[in-house]
Each structure stands twice: as structure tokens, then as C-alpha cells.
Amino acid sequence: MSSLTDDARREAVRLLLRDLANVVDEGKVSYVQLMLKVIVDSSAAGAIADEAREAGATPTVRDV
């Protein structure tokens, strides 16, 4: 698990996610298997979970 309170780490994660999105957009991905654990503000959790479901994932949302 990596804390994203550090600006450099947060930027590195953002760039990784951007690059993954780019290869998906370019049709260079034929299969995906991901395990992603993210702690987000409760105001964003519902929308992110909905998007995960639309992508075919089964999100688990818990209060922490």
C-alpha cells in the first residue's frame, strides 16, 4: 500500500493510470485482470463504485 500524501508519489500514480488509459484507448489491451484497493473520500466512493460496476468489476465499499 502506498500513501498518496506525497506529491511525487501521487503524480507517479496519476501518470501510471493515464498511461494505462491510453493503451486501452489505443486498442492495445485485449484482457484485463486488476486488483485495486483505494481509500477515497466518502463523497467520491459511490460514483467510483458505479463506474467500476459499469466496467464489469465487483467493487466492495466499506466505511473506514
pLDDT in tens, 4-62: 999 999 999 999 999 999 999 999 999 999 899 999 999 999 999 999 999 999 999 99
Nearest 10 degrees: Cα torsion 50, 54, 56, 58: 10
Give this prediction's pTM: 0.76
Q: Per-residue pLDDT for 1 more than 90?
A: no
pLDDT at residue 59 in the model:
93
CA dist 57 and 24 (Å) reads 16
CA distance 23 to 56: 18
Q: Could you tell me the CA-to-CA distances from 43 to 12, 16, 24, 30, 32 in Å, in that order?
A: 24, 24, 27, 33, 27
Q: How confident is the model at residue 64 (pLDDT cuts 50, 70, 90)?
A: confident
Give 47-54's long-range contacts (Cβ < 8 A, gap of 24+): none
